[in-house]
């Protein structure tokens, strides 16, 4: 074996090497950033791309983006003059003396089964020209002292206290908590439950892209949700405002077996609780079948930060020989010569190498050391899909078939990237596409693999960004109910601070729709889950009174300005289609009582009283078209009018301002009473007695509404507003109209025609006369309808209208004569006729 770098660093006389060790929340990373910026150049290697990106943004703000580089497997931002590098550990440079400062974060991961050998290599060989800093847990201290001579070890205490809080049910987990699970299924289950009764949770898993994880973390950090559900990936340096960490379980599958977490692993996760000088707590999730309790020894170790030290770090030859595949595999599996180091377990890159080396077709294509080196680089493609060696090796084999002859064409890579640029699908589908595009982002970063590297890398990043946005949207849609989260957070003492507003009919609390308000009636959002309804009703109960009071004041102002959108329908006063008050029977049809709808009960008492008073004023203004009938009603109560006149007036009021003359009792009145009747605006016609103002459509409609409010029997059809005086299709009993068979005519129009007929009749006395029907026809009446009207009024034809058979010329005009009806004897009061029963007998009752 020819290794250019020794397996240990005992012979090095390097510059100052500092090991800053301690538990979480000791400010180690912050110190490293300060030291990086204090030097002329430097690099920090992080365990996660997410952390590298976070620190990159911070250093860019200090040094400027043109001087700072981000180097990861899938993303490289390398300005030409960059002097400060933020990297993942795998991607950080290890050339000695090229940078003034070098730091390695989370160095205890050198004991990780999959990636430990990479951390060990950087621990032993990555050095800064002026200063090297090793950050990590105190468990690595003995090995650091043994492997790195003259290292300066600095122990830093935790800024805050971490205390055990015991087991808690999920419903009692306090806000600003992180719940840690160890499988995607468990993460989804817990997040779904939190959505139901806490408004939801942000989700953080190792399988998410950094952009998606950042977006989810931002939801939590901004306070939009108070809970975070995560896998143990949350323990790797994510700086969150977590006050409590709840373990959904204390065991996990480590790739080999299901085992209980070590105390150091427990502490790494629990240590996310409490940031800077704010204390935190940890515990377990009660009621979960995965949960078990911490032992007393584990609680003591976590609270006091006392853990057994690491005894071995995993190591693998960092610079193997590339003579042939057998030599390469032999060097990679060679054990270290240092007792503090142990051979690394077989990682997926070696597993893929062995599988493909056994394939004759693949092995036969590898001839020289340069090709062996290139083949090894392809085998080291990370398994972002987490599909295992067998499946991943097939992808690597296909990639090698394309790479062994040279670089990948831009069209080929562009097609592969475009096939993944689909943002539809569920959470698992989007996660699979993100994992696949990360593979192509890694491939596109290699300058010797892809033509048009910069363009293809930019395309891959753009697709990953779109997929990440789509995944973030799906996670938010599935696991976060913003409305519930907002209301749960502020339904306590801070409820009065909520922003409540009305957009059209929608009630929004803190921008979240909780229901609709029609008139003064609140309806919970019909799309809300049954479990959310109580919460929404509680929110409405707290915040609606103020909103309703504002709406009442606005409505009162509109009513007084004559601009209110109120309507009277079927005896109910409605606003925006919702009933706010009803009319009930009063002293008479013209004096209904106003009753508030139950929807006004939520109004404060003073506002409710003021609104009802304004509604009374509005109602009186609305009923002004019935003013003439009101005057008649007042006159009917005057005892000086006499019983005959009062009977007619009462009949008019009860009938809505129009009664047939024959049933009115008019013949009983004397001349003085008839004069008073005329002064009240009552028209005495040939066939009817009526109040002309009550024939207008508005008055007819109002009368109809008042009768409905008085619970009277169903009236006959009313005439819609805007109808002509003559109806071409007669409707029996339409108010204000007289039926003429197939046609109807309004009472005042009928009276005009009959008055004209009497004007023709009067000069000729008893002689026959001819009537001109042109005026009736101009009103829309047919000749037959006009003749029927005349007959009803006592006119009789004395010559048939049709010509005799065989006669020539136009038909002869009809000649008429008038025979008034003879006065009838006054019927006995005990036996009134059906038509007289309602009105004629009324005079006897009022005597």
The pLDDT-based confidence of 141 (bands split at 50, 70, 90) is very high
Q: Once rounded to an integer, what is the mean pLDDT over residues 31-49? A: 93
Residue 500 pLDDT > 90: no
Split at pLDDT 50, 70, 90, the class of 845 is very low
Query: Within a 10 A sphere around the Cβ of 690, how many other Cβ atoms?
Result: 26
What is the set of domains in the chain, with CATH numbers?
16-155 (3.40.50.300), 162-304 (3.40.50.300), 325-479 (no CATH), 641-803+812-818 (no CATH)
- pLDDT by residue (tens digit) across 755-791? 988 888 888 877 888 888 889 889 889 888 988 988 8
Provide the pLDDT for residue 624.
Answer: 86
- Residues 24-37 have pLDDT tens digits of 888 899 999 999 99
The mean pLDDT value for 721-731 works out to: 57
Mean pLDDT, to the nearest integer, of 315-331? 93
- pLDDT at position 297: 93
Q: Which pLDDT band holds residue 313 (cuts at 50, 70, 90)?
A: very high
Per-residue pLDDT band at 637 (split at 50, 70, 90): confident
The residues facing 528 across adjacent strands are none
Torsion 352-388-426-531 (CA) sign:
negative
Cα Rg for the chain, rounded, in angstroms? Answer: 48
Residue 465: Cβ within 10 Å count? 14
Is the model more confident about 246 or about 386? 246
As a whole number of angstroms, the distance between CA 270 and CA 276 comes to 14
Range with top average pLDDT, 11-20, 346-355, 582-591: 346-355
- At 482 the pLDDT is 64
- Separation of alpha carbons 22 and 28, rounded Å: 8
Contact 768, 716 (CB under 8 A): no
For 383-391, which contacts have Cβ atoms below 8 Å and span 24 or more sequence positions? Answer: 383/348, 384/435, 384/436, 384/438, 384/439, 384/442, 385/432, 385/435, 385/436, 385/439, 386/207, 386/435, 388/348, 389/348, 389/351, 389/352, 389/355, 390/355
- For residue 315, the surrounding DSSP H or E stretch is strand 313-315
pLDDT at 258: 86
Asked if residues 91 and 47 have their Cβ atoms less than 8 Å apart, the reply is: no
For residue 623, pLDDT beyond 90: no
Q: Which of 28-42, 88-102, 392-406, 830-844 has the lowest mean pLDDT?
A: 830-844
CB under 8 A, 24+ apart: contacts of 692-698: 692/748, 693/625, 693/627, 693/628, 693/629, 693/657, 694/626, 694/628, 694/629, 694/656, 694/657, 694/658, 694/736, 695/657, 695/658, 695/736, 695/746, 695/747, 695/748, 696/625, 697/721, 697/722, 697/723, 698/625
pLDDT level of residue 529 (50, 70, 90 thresholds): low
> pTM of the entire structure?
0.62
Residues 6+ apart with CB under 8 A from 834: none
- Cα first-last separation, the chain: 135
pLDDT at 496: 42
- Kindly report which listed range (382-386, 484-488, 709-713) carries the lowest average pLDDT score: 709-713
């Amino acid at each position: 074996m020819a290794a250019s770098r020794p397996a240990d660093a005992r012979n090095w006389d390097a510059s100052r090497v500092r090991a800053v060790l301690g538990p979480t929340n000791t400010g180690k990373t912050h110190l490293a950033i300060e030291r990086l910026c204090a030097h002329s150049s430097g690099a920090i290697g992080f365990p996660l791309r997410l952390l590298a990106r976070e620190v990159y943004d911070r250093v860019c703000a200090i040094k400027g983006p043109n001087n700072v580089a981000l180097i990861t497997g899938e993303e490289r931002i390398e300005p030409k003059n960059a002097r400060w590098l933020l990297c993942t550990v795998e991607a950080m440079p290890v050339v000695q003396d090229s940078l003034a400062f070098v730091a390695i974060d989370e160095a205890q991961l050198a004991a990780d089964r999959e990636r430990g050998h990479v951390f060990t290599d950087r621990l032993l060989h990555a050095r800064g020209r002026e200063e090297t800093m090793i950050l990590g847990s105190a468990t690595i201290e003995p090995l650091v002292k043994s492997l790195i001579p003259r290292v300066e070890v600095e122990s830093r205490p935790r800024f805050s206290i971490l205390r055990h809080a015991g087991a808690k049910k999920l419903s009692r987990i306090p806000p600003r908590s992180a719940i840690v699970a160890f499988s995607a299924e468990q993460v989804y289950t817990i997040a779904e439950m939190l959505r139901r009764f806490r408004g939801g949770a942000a989700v953080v898993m190792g399988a998410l892209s950094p952009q998606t994880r950042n977006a989810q973390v931002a939801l939590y950090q901004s306070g939009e949700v108070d809970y975070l559900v995560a896998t143990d990936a949350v323990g790797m340096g994510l700086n969150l405002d977590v006050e409590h960490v709840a373990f959904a379980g204390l065991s996990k599958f480590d790739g080999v077996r299901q085992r209980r977490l070590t105390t150091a692993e427990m502490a790494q996760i629990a240590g996310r609780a409490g940031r800077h000088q704010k204390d935190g707590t940890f515990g377990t999730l009660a009621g979960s079948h995965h949960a078990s309790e911490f032992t007393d020894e584990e609680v003591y170790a976590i609270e006091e930060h006392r853990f057994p030290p690491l005894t071995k770090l995993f190591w693998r030859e960092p610079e193997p020989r590339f003579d042939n595949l057998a030599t390469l595999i032999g060097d990679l599996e060679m054990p270290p010569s240092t007792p503090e180091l142990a051979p690394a377990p077989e990682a997926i890159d070696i597993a893929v190498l062995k599988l493909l080396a056994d394939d004759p077709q693949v092995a036969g294509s590898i001839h020289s050391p340069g090709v062996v080196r290139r083949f090894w680089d392809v085998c080291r493609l990370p398994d972002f899909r987490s599909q295992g060696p067998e499946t991943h090796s097939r992808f690597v084999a296909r990639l090698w078939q394309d790479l062994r002859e040279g670089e990948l064409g831009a069209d080929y890579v562009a097609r592969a990237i475009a096939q993944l640029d689909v943002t539809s699908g569920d959470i698992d589908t989007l996660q699979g596409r993100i994992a696949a595009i990360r593979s192509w982002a890694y491939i596109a970063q290699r300058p010797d693999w892809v033509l048009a590297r910069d363009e293809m890398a930019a395309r891959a990043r753009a697709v990953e960004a779109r997929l990440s946005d789509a995944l973030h949207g799906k996670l938010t849609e599935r696991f976060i109910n913003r409305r519930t989260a907002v209301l749960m957070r502020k339904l306590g003492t801070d409820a009065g601070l909520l922003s409540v507003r009305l957009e059209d009919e929608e009630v929004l609390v803190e921008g979240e729709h909780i229901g609709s308000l029609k008139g003064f009636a609140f309806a919970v959002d019909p799309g809300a889950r049954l479990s959310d309804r109580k919460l929404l009703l509680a929110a409405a109960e707290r915040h609606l009174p103020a909103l309703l009071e504002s709406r009442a004041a606005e409505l009162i102002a509109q009513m007084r300005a004559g601009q209110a959108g109120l309507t009277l329908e079927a005896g109910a006063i409605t606003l925006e289609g919702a009933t706010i008050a009803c009319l009930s029977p009063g002293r008479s049809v013209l004096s209904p009582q106003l009753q508030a709808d139950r929807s006004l009960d939520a109004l404060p008492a003073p506002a409710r009283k003021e609104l009802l008073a304004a509604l009374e004023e509005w109602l009186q203004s609305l009923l002004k078209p019935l003013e003439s009938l009101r005057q008649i009603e007042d006159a009917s109560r005057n005892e000086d009018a006499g019983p005959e006149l009062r009977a007619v007036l009462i009949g008019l009021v009860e009938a809505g301002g129009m009664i047939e003359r024959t049933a009115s009792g008019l013949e009983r009145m004397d001349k003085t009473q008839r004069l008073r009747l005329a002064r009240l605006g009552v028209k005495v016609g040939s066939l009817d007695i009526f109040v002309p103002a009550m024939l207008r459509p508005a008055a007819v409609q109002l009368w109809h509404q008042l009768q409905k409010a008085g619970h009277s029997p169903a009236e006959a059809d009313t005439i819609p507003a805007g109808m002509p005086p003559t109806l071409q299709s007669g409707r029996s009993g339409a108010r204000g109209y007289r039926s003429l068979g197939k046609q109807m005519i309004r009472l005042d129009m009928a009276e005009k025609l009959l008055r004209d007929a009497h004007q023709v009749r009067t000069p000729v006395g008893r002689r026959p006369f001819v009537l001109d029907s042109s005026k009736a026809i101009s009103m829309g009446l047919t000749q037959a309808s006009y003749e029927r009207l005349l007959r009803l009024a006592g006119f009789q034809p004395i010559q048939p209208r049709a010509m005799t058979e065989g006669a020539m010329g136009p038909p002869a005009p009809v000649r008429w004569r008038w025979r008034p009806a003879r006065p009838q004897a006054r019927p006995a009061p005990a036996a009134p006729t059906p038509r007289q029963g309602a009105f004629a007998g009324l005079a006897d009752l009022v005597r």
